[in-house]
Amino acid sequence: MGEQKTGGGNWFQKYIVPGIVFQSCVIAGGYGTGRELIEYFMGYGPVKGTMAICIITLIMWSLISALTYCFAVVYKKFDYKSIMKELMGPGWIVYEISYILVIFIILAVITSAAGSILNQLFGFNNWIGIIGLAVLVFLLVINGSDLIEKVLSAWSFILYGVYLLFLVLAFVKFGDGIGAAFSGPQPTDVGASWLQGGFMYSFYNMAVILAVVYTLRHCDTGKEAFKSGIIAGFIGIIPGIILFVAMCAFYPQIIDEELPIAYMIDQMGMPWLQYVFQIVLFGTLIETGSGLIYSITDRFETAMRVKGKEPAKWFTPVMAIALLALGCIIAQFGLTALIAKGYGAAAWIMFIVYCIPMLTLGTYKIRKRYKEAREAGETI
C-alpha cells in the first residue's frame, strides 16, 4: 500500500531536505515562541535545561527519525498511514486517531501564536493573524509537495540566519547575564527530572517525523534515509538550542512570559529586530501548518489512488479548510494553556503509539527486510 518510485535525488534532496522540512514543521510547535522551551526546560535551570535539549531531545529526534526514514524507504511507504499499517498491522488505526489529535493541538498552538504576533506588532485583532495564516497555508497545501519543499527549504535558510543574528546580538547585549545564569546558582530540587523534560519535549514533537516522510522519495536506499534521519535531528534542534541559551540571560524572570522571544527583543531595545524576528516567525507558522496539513491530505489521497480512485479536485481544499477551522477553534483555549496541558498529553500519546512500536517492531522489521533483500540479491 502507498508504494511509490523512489531515488534519483541529489545529495541535498537526500540528506538535507528531509531535515529542513522536519525543522520547518517542528519549529512553530517546538520553539517558535520560546514558550515551549520555557515549559519543558527552563524550570530545571540553564545547565540542566541545556543538557536535556542537547542530550535527550537530540538523541531521541535523531534516533526515531533515522529508524522511521529507513523503514519508509526499505518498505517504500511514504505517508504516515502506510508506514504505521506496515509497522503495526490493524493497530495502525490507534496511531491515526492519536496523530490527528496531536496535529490539531499543534495547529491550535500555531494559529494562537499567529494571532498574538500580529497583535503585538501592529495592534491587529487576533483573528487577522489567524485568518492570514490560514489563507497562506491553504495556498501552499493545494499546490502540492514540490512547492512546499521549495518554500520550506528557502525559508529555513532565512530562519537560521535570523536565529544566528539573534544569538550574536543576545551575547553582545546580555553576554554577562548568560554567563551568570550558567555559572550561578541552579535549582537544587530537580534531581533527574530534567531527563523527563527532555523526553516529554521530544515525544510530543515526534508526530512531525512522520509528517515529512514524503520527502524521502528522493532517497535510493535505506542507508541513505537512516543518515538523513540522523542529520534531521541536528537540523531540527540547533535553532532551539540557540534560542534557549539566549533566553537564559533573563533567567528566572522569563519563565512567566507568554512570548519569551518578544520579551527578549523588547529588552534589547531594537524595534527593527522585533519586526524582522516576528515576521520570520510568522513564516515558520505557515511552514508548520502547511507541512502538517499536507501530511494528512496526502495520506487520504494516496489511500484513494491505491484503491483505484482519483481524488476529486475539491477534496484537498475542503479538507485543508476543515483542518484549519478546527485548529482555530481549539486555539481559543490560549497559547500558554495549550502548551502546558495539550503538549503534555500529546507527549505520552506519541510515546506509547509511535515511539515504542518504532523502537521495537520497527527495528525488528527493518532487520527482517534487509535479510530478505540479501537472500534475494536486492539492494534496498
Indicate whether 374 belongs to any domain: no
What CATH number is attached to the domain comprising 355? Answer: 1.20.1740.10
Q: What is the 3-state secondary structure (H, E, C) of the chain?
A: CCCCCCCCCCHHHHHHHHHHHHHHHHHHHHCCCCHHHHHHCHHHHHHHHHHHHHHHHHHHHHHHHHHHHHHHHHHCCCCHHHHHHHHHHHHHHHHHHHHHHHHHHHHHHHHHHHHHHHHHHHCCCHHHHHHHHHHHHHHHHCCCHHHHHHHHHHHHHHHHHHHHHHHHHHHHHHHHHHHHHHHCCCCCCCCCHHHHHHHHHHHHCCHHHHHCHHHHHHCCCHHHHHHHHHHHHHHHHHHHHHHHHHHHHHCCHHHHCCCHHHHHHHHHCCHHHHHHHHHHHHHHHHHHHHHHHHHHHHHHHHHHHHCCCCCCCCHHHHHHHHHHHHHHHHHHHCHHHHHHHHHHHHHHHHHHHHHHHHHHHHHHHHHHHHHHHHHHCCCC
- Confirm whether 4 is domain-assigned: no
| Whole-prediction pTM | 0.84
CB 212 within 8 Å of CB 21: yes
- For residue 366, tell me if it sits in a domain: no
Query: Would residue 370 count as lying in a domain?
Result: no
pLDDT at site 2: 40
Give the pLDDT of residue 301.
84
Number of domains the chain contains? 1
What is the separation of C-alpha 97 from the centre of its chain, rounded to a whole number of angstroms? 19
Helix 145-183 / helix 126-141 crossing angle, nearest 10 deg: 130
Say what the pLDDT of residue 337 is.
63
Please report whether residue 134 resides in a domain.
Answer: yes
Is residue 1, in this structure, part of any structural domain at all? no
- pLDDT of 4 reads 46
Please name the amino acid found at residue 98: S
pLDDT at 334: 60
Is residue 371 in a domain?
no
Q: How many CB atoms lie within 10 A of CB 234?
A: 15
What pLDDT sits at residue 6?
Answer: 58
Q: Which domain holds residue 251?
A: 11-361
Q: Each residue's pLDDT tens digit in the chain (380 positions)?
A: 344 455 667 899 999 999 988 987 888 767 877 888 998 999 999 999 999 999 999 999 999 999 999 999 999 999 888 999 999 998 898 888 888 888 877 787 778 778 877 887 788 888 888 888 888 888 888 887 778 778 877 887 888 888 888 888 888 888 899 999 999 999 988 888 999 999 999 998 888 899 889 899 899 999 999 999 999 999 999 989 988 999 999 999 999 887 788 888 888 888 888 888 878 888 888 877 888 888 888 888 888 888 888 888 788 888 888 887 877 777 666 656 656 666 778 788 889 999 999 999 999 999 999 999 999 988 88
Report how far apart, in Å, the C-alpha atoms of 181 and of each of 46, 50, 175, 251, 264 are: 6, 12, 10, 7, 15
- Classify residue 6: in a domain, yes or no: no
